[in-house]
Amino acid sequence: MSFVSSYYYSNRDKNVSLVIVPPKTKLDDLLYIDNKSVIPITNNRQIQTVIQAKDGQSSILGGLVGEESRNNDTGVPILKARTPVQ
C-alpha cells in the first residue's frame, strides 16, 4: 500500500514536495448472505496533504485517530436476565 500519490523534486532549490493520502479502514460488521457468502462492511476514511521539505529534512504527519468502545454480552438471554427472586 502506497501513501504517496505524487511527488515533485526541484533540483534548483533542493525541495521535495509529496502529496500524501493515508487511508484508515475499519471493519464495522459482516453481512451473511444465504449462509454461503460473507460481505465485509467497512468504514473508510482518508486525508490528503502536501508536505514540502528541503532535501534531507524530516517531516511528521499525524491524523486519522479514532476511538472505539464495544460492549459484548455473552450467554443465554433467559438465564442471564435479572429476575426478582421471591
- Tell me the pLDDT tens digit for each residue of 3-60: 666 666 676 778 888 888 878 888 888 889 887 899 999 888 888 888 888 878 888 8
* pLDDT range class, residue 1, cuts 50, 70, 90: low
- Tell me the pLDDT tens digit for each residue of 62-83: 766 667 676 766 666 666 656 5
- Among 64, 50, 44, smallest CA distance to 8 is for 50
Mapped onto helix, strand or coil, the DSSP state of residue 59 is coil
**Dihedrals phi, psi of 37, to nearest 5 degrees:** -115, 145
